[in-house]
Chains A and B, each alone.
Chain A
Amino acid sequence: MDFIQQAINGLGLGAIYALIALGYTMVYGVLRFINFAHSDVLMLGAFAAFYIAPKIEKVCGPQSVLGVILVFILVALICALIGMTIERLAYRPLRHRPKLAVLITAIGVSLFIEFTCQNPNVLGSATRPFPQLAAEKQFHLGSAIVGSTDLLVIAVTAALLAAMWFIVQKTRIGTAMRAVSFNQQASLLMGVPVNKVISFTFGLGSALAAIAGILYSMKAPGIEPLMGVQPGLRAFIAAVLGGIGNLPGAVLGAVVLGLLETFAGGIPELSNYRDAIAFGILILILLLKPAGLLGRATIEKV
């Protein structure tokens, strides 16, 4: 396959990873733990879109721009709510416990969502076709073919990244998020409503995961309850690669990982090992530069 073609595919994949990785990184920034259930929120987002899209289509007409935007907003809201609920019920009671307890609980929450959804009475483990939200057009760029879905993915990601940068750097709540990330206790003493900020962070991250879930499903052959696991792991690795807790780092790591994975998939000898490549990169980066590409090493104070 053509180099440019691969690069565009990789960029599209990297853009989706970036959206997911932002959620991991933001939650890590404020709470210092990995939200394992993040990838399941992505899956729930895809399923929410699966059920909502046909209803929206009836109102707005098939494949209308307004309809697509409505689906995105509704699903993002639903998943934000789910994310905040998970935080409230499972993570908040453990806030002052050892980190290991929170980590184990997060794994438990993730397993709970996955297996509840796999149950035949809930969603079932069968793969279902995802509705076509937007008409697929193809553009020719030299010898490479660029699908409109790829362009949509990259455009939506770019827009959301800009929005994220604005929220974190320019708004009041963003300032509060940075304060909580810097020192939770001190910001509490300064009158920052820490619980609200953490709740908001979970909502924001989950909304991003939901949108990533829709975009991922538009390219994937179908959706099923375990669909979030693989992109979730890759996005987590991307977040670590870029330096966890660092927003531009997450995006950089995601794009690097997306490109590497796509190029490796194009080489026949390596394509069977695609799953192992991401983890190989993770182990390498943790060995060589544990703080990530853009992260700063922190010294642990006693």
Chain B
Amino acid sequence: MPLPGAKRWLLLGLALAILASYFAPQFNRYYLGVAIDVGIAIVLATSLNLINGHTGQFSLGHAGFMAVGGYFSAWISLKLVGVAHAEWYFPLSLLAGGLLAAVVGLMVGIPSLRLKGDYLAIVTLGFGEIIRVIAQNTEAIGAASGLKGIPKHTGLGWTFGVAALTIYVITSLVNSTYGRGFIAVHDDEIAAESNGVNTTRTKVTAFVTGAFFAGIAGGLYAHHKTFLSPTGFDWLKSIDIVVMVILGGMGRTVGVIAAAILLTLMPEFLRGVAEYRMIFYALLIIFLMLLRPNGLFSFKFKRRTA
């Protein structure tokens, strides 16, 4: 049965996720952990790609949304400790985290998306910092010492299921009639507006959708690491995700996914030279912008129609 591109990937991803979760207990714990890290990175990078890549709105606050979703879903799970079949509520807590992140995304997006380029970058950076400061000062979620003892619900199946779903939703959204607006806003905002695209609404939609998936990724992260600390969501985390999007080529889904996998695996192989990792990232950003502004993997794929 021929299926459109996005649906095929969704089914393939879900099948792989179910298969992987079936065999997961046989995997080495370390590899399992890394694989889940990769899945979370894919969700984060794909969702940021919608904002930074497809829509062209440079956001530096993705870790902030991740923190909102992570903390909220972890807080729910901690309230549910002791309830029978607590793990059945896990998807609900993920969803709640994502929804809260989306609401915060809406609150941040509506005022700040009137701004462009540099201003937007700084405001989103500032917003991420505000979230971190609030988390650091709120006793209910552990304040500066962090949130401990979160139940470990995140498995391979959930992670890659969510990753497949994220890719599917975002690809379909961008490829839809409505989604053409994202590309139009990215290419030329004034031209888009004069052609009847409601640019503010388009940008806010991208922002809220991106925030939603970042929140879910935060929930996965919280139930994977079982520990959350405000310092884990500082702007360097946002930079990590931004580097994935830039390396993959902004607006190129396949490239971004490849970059997310590569950049998550790389530090694991380069443990011996860990202190050089961020220097390498920085040089990567500079040289990519100077030499390959369309991303490292852009030579393989023609610019997709979406």
A240 interfacial contact with B, CB 8 Å: yes
Query: What total count of A-B pairs have CB within 8 Å?
Result: 115
Nearest Cβ on chain A to B59's Cβ, whole angstroms: 12
Contacting pair A282 B122 (CB below 8 A): yes
CA distance A33 to B58 in the complex (A): 14
Contacting pair B134 A276 (CB below 8 A): yes
CA distance A236 to B129 in the complex (A): 15
Of chain B, the residue at the smallest CB distance from A120 is B275
Q: Which residues of A contact B60 (CB under 8 A)?
A: 107
Contacting pair A115 B279 (CB below 8 A): yes
Nearest Cβ on chain A to B19's Cβ, whole angstroms: 38
A170 interfacial contact with B, CB 8 Å: no
Q: Which residues of B contact A104 (CB under 8 A)?
A: 58, 242, 246, 285, 289
Q: A51-59, A77-85, A173-181, A283-291: which one contacts chain B?
A: A283-291
A300 interfacial contact with B, CB 8 Å: yes
Q: A8-16, A63-71, A93-101, A198-206: which one contacts chain B?
A: A93-101
B121 interfacial contact with A, CB 8 Å: yes
Contacting pair A287 B122 (CB below 8 A): no
Contacting pair A94 B290 (CB below 8 A): yes
Q: B86-94, B107-115, B155-163: which one contacts chain A?
A: B107-115
Contacting pair A111 B278 (CB below 8 A): yes
| Chain A 229-252 interface 0/1 with B at a Cβ cutoff of 8 Å (1 = within) | 000010011001000000000000
Q: Which residues of A contact B134 (CB under 8 A)?
A: 276
**Sample (18) of A-B pairs whose CB atoms are under 8 Å apart:** A90-B286, A103-B58, A104-B285, A105-B286, A108-B286, A108-B289, A109-B286, A112-B279, A112-B286, A114-B282, A115-B278, A116-B282, A118-B275, A272-B136, A272-B137, A280-B130, A290-B114, A300-B190
- Contact residues of B with A, CB < 8 Å? 56, 58, 60, 111-112, 114-115, 117-119, 121-123, 125-127, 129-130, 133-134, 136-137, 190, 239, 242, 246, 275-276, 278-279, 281-286, 289-290, 293
Determine which of B123, B246, B279, B289 lies in contact with A282 in the assembled complex, contact meaning CB atoms within 8 Å.
Answer: B123
Contacting pair B286 A286 (CB below 8 A): no
Q: Is the interface of B mostly helix, strand, loop or mixed?
A: helix
Determine which of A34, A99, A109, A275 lies in contact with B282 in the assembled complex, contact meaning CB atoms within 8 Å.
Answer: A109
Contacting pair A286 B115 (CB below 8 A): yes
Determine which of B117, B130, B285 lies in contact with A107 in the assembled complex, contact meaning CB atoms within 8 Å.
Answer: B285
Contacting pair B285 A273 (CB below 8 A): no
Instruction: Add 8 more A-B contacts to A104-B246, A114-B278, A279-B129 (CB < 8 A).
Output: A33-B117, A34-B122, A94-B289, A103-B117, A104-B58, A105-B289, A108-B282, A286-B119
Q: Which residues of B contact A278 (CB under 8 A)?
A: 126
Determine which of B58, B125, B282 lies in contact with A100 in the assembled complex, contact meaning CB atoms within 8 Å.
Answer: B58
Determine which of A111, A280, A283 lies in contact with B239 in the assembled complex, contact meaning CB atoms within 8 Å.
Answer: A111
A135 interfacial contact with B, CB 8 Å: no
Nearest Cβ on chain B to A172's Cβ, whole angstroms: 30
CA distance A68 to B136 in the complex (A): 40
Determine which of B112, B137, B290 lies in contact with A286 in the assembled complex, contact meaning CB atoms within 8 Å.
Answer: B112
A302 interfacial contact with B, CB 8 Å: yes
Contacting pair B190 A107 (CB below 8 A): no
Q: Which residues of B contact A94 (CB under 8 A)?
A: 289-290
Contacting pair B129 A286 (CB below 8 A): no
Nearest Cβ on chain A to B39's Cβ, whole angstroms: 26
- Contact residues of A with B, CB < 8 Å? 33-34, 90, 93-94, 97, 99-105, 107-112, 114-116, 118-120, 233, 236-237, 240, 272-273, 275-276, 278-280, 282-283, 286-287, 290, 300, 302
Contacting pair B115 A290 (CB below 8 A): yes
Q: Which residues of B contact A275 (CB under 8 A)?
A: 129, 133
Q: Which residues of A contact B239 (CB under 8 A)?
A: 107, 111
Contacting pair B282 A115 (CB below 8 A): yes
Q: A283 and B293 in contact (CB under 8 A), knowing A104-B246, A105-B286, A276-B133?
A: no
Nearest Cβ on chain B to A163's Cβ, whole angstroms: 27
CA distance A118 to B112 in the complex (A): 33
Q: Which residues of A contact B123 (CB under 8 A)?
A: 279, 282-283, 286
CA distance A195 to B40 in the complex (A): 45
CA distance A99 to B293 in the complex (A): 12
CA distance A150 to B159 in the complex (A): 55
Q: Which residues of A contact B137 (CB under 8 A)?
A: 272-273
CA distance A31 to B212 in the complex (A): 35
Q: Which residues of A contact B129 (CB under 8 A)?
A: 275-276, 279
Determine which of B121, B290, B293 lies in contact with A103 in the assembled complex, contact meaning CB atoms within 8 Å.
Answer: B121
Contacting pair A286 B111 (CB below 8 A): yes
Determine which of A105, A283, A302 lies in contact with B127 in the assembled complex, contact meaning CB atoms within 8 Å.
Answer: A283
